[in-house]
């Protein structure tokens, strides 16, 4: 039997969601450690939402994980538990117009910064941020707040997982409300993502003010609407 090449073997990485990063930050002197995460970078519709959560040391949160790995019932349950247990928590939204103006990456960073600033306004100025992903945010230069970015941090840090759940539950509830305001797009089900149902509704109903005009296929539809408007205006002038 031939031996497998290294390229043929893909090692699966299994993260353990725990206190590793929080303990490391405490060892460096941090006391108010905020987990920070955002949701809603990919949808065609609606704001991007971020949450920042400061948990008490080693709170009992067995089973908490990345919100994408939890069912809706578990997300709702952990959302309530986190809001009750947290030393402080905050949620911030960045609207569609801002997303289209500065791009989704910068809008996500802005949402996270706004969430952390809301903690500060509540009297909970963090001295260390644990941020999901690899992007730091514009916060803490004056106060010396340290930042640790963690790829797949929502599956590795309980503080980030808590922020992930709070942000996800908040945005899902918002999309269910917006489904009543903008019926026909299936927003309560697809949460604004580019599903077949959503794309077919865009072709049938057109775009709304809550659709991201910088995202495809919305951008093409918006361009087509502008061309029709220009044509109509030209006919009126004639």
Sheet with 128-132, strands from edge to edge, namely 88-94, 48-54, 33-39, 128-132, 146-150
Q: What is the pLDDT of residue 141?
A: 84
Residue 4 lies inside a defined structural domain of this protein: no
Tell how far CA 49 is from the center of its chain: 5
If one compares 11 and 131, the residue with the highest pLDDT of the two is 131
Residue 12 lies inside a defined structural domain of this protein: no
When pLDDT is averaged across residues 103-109 and rounded to a whole number, the result is: 98
pLDDT bucket at 7, cuts 50 / 70 / 90: very low
Residue 175: domain span: 20-181
Residue 149 lies inside a defined structural domain of this protein: yes
Q: What is the pLDDT of residue 75?
A: 98
Residue 186 lies inside a defined structural domain of this protein: no
pLDDT bucket at 223, cuts 50 / 70 / 90: confident
Statement: residue 154 has pLDDT above 60: yes
Instruction: Dump pLDDT digits (tens) for 71-80.
Output: 999 999 999 9
Residue 189 lies inside a defined structural domain of this protein: no
Residue 191 tokens, joined:
């949460």
Instruction: Dump pLDDT digits (tens) for 24-70.
Output: 999 999 999 999 999 999 999 999 999 999 999 979 999 999 999 99
What does R_g of the chain's alpha carbons equal in angstroms? 21
What CATH number did the domain enclosing 47 receive?
3.30.420.10
Q: What is the pLDDT of residue 9?
A: 40
Residue 203 lies inside a defined structural domain of this protein: no
Per the structure, the count of domains in the chain is 1
């Amino acid at each position: 039997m031939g031996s497998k090449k290294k390229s043929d073997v893909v090692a699966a990485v299994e993260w353990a969601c725990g206190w590793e990063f929080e303990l490391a930050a405490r060892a460096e002197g941090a006391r108010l450690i905020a987990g920070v995460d955002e949701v809603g970078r990919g949808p065609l519709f609606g704001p991007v939402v971020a949450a920042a959560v400061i948990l008490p040391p080693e709170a009992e949160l067995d089973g908490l994980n990345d919100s994408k790995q939890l069912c809706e019932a578990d997300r709702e349950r952990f959302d309530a538990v986190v809001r009750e247990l947290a030393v402080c928590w905050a949620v911030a939204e960045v609207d569609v117009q801002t997303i289209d103006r500065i791009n989704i990456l910068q809008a996500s960073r802005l949402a996270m910064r706004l969430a952390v600033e809301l903690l500060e306004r509540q009297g909970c100025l963090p001295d260390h941020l644990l941020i999901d992903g690899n992007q730091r945010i514009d916060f803490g230069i004056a106060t010396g707040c340290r930042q640790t970015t963690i790829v797949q941090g929502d599956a590795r840090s309980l503080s980030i997982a808590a922020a992930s759940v709070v942000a996800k539950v908040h945005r899902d509830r918002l999309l269910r409300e917006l489904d009543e305001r903008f019926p026909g797009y299936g927003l309560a089900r697809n949460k604004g993502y580019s599903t077949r149902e959503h794309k077919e509704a865009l072709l049938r109903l057109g775009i709304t003010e809550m659709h991201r005009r910088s995202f495809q296929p919305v951008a093409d539809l918006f361009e087509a609407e502008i061309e029709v408007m220009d044509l109509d205006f030209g006919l009126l002038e004639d």
